[in-house]
Amino acid sequence: MKQYQTTLAVQTEGGRFTDITAALNETVARSGIRTGLMTLFIRHTSASLIIQENADPDVLYDLKNFFDRTVPQDNSLYVHTYEGRDDMPAHIRTALTGVSLSIPVTDGRTALGTWQAVYVCEHRNRANIRNVVCHIIGE
């Protein structure tokens, strides 16, 4: 059994979803692991990871609008406000979506479905560099 671990530095745009699927497949290829499991962990509390559709950009648009309606950037709703009006909503959105994913590795690639991609969700309004730890175990 082999293990491989690296950290991907992902440049995000404020309030957007960044597709990291190609970088993950490159990471799997570098690992030399053909069959196994990849675990992803984002080291932040105001950004998250999701697996979502990669074909129709309207899906990501609708997700963003859903978050904006469900978790508004309105400081009158929160106690934790000193880091800006987008900070506490970003923490809540992260809690709703999650900071880790597990993806099977098959034939040296992520075993995602045809229309699936892995995204870093930037829940703050400004661009950031987000660190995603990628650990792969297998043969």
pLDDT tens digits, 81-137: 999 999 999 999 999 999 999 999 999 999 999 999 999 999 999 999 999 999 999
pLDDT number for residue 120:
98
- What sign does the dihedral 132-133-138-139 (CA atoms) show? positive
| DSSP3 helix / strand / coil % (the chain, rounded to 5) | 30, 40, 35
Domain range enclosing 102 = 2-138
pLDDT number for residue 23:
98
Q: What are 14-24's pLDDT values in tens digits?
A: 999 999 999 99
HSE of 6, CA atoms in CB hemisphere, 13 A: 13
Give the CATH number of the domain where residue 106 resides: 2.60.120.460
Task: Share the mean pLDDT of the chain.
Answer: 98
Q: How many CB atoms lie within 10 A of CB 32?
A: 12
pLDDT number for residue 12:
98
Q: For the chain, how many structural domains are there in total?
A: 1
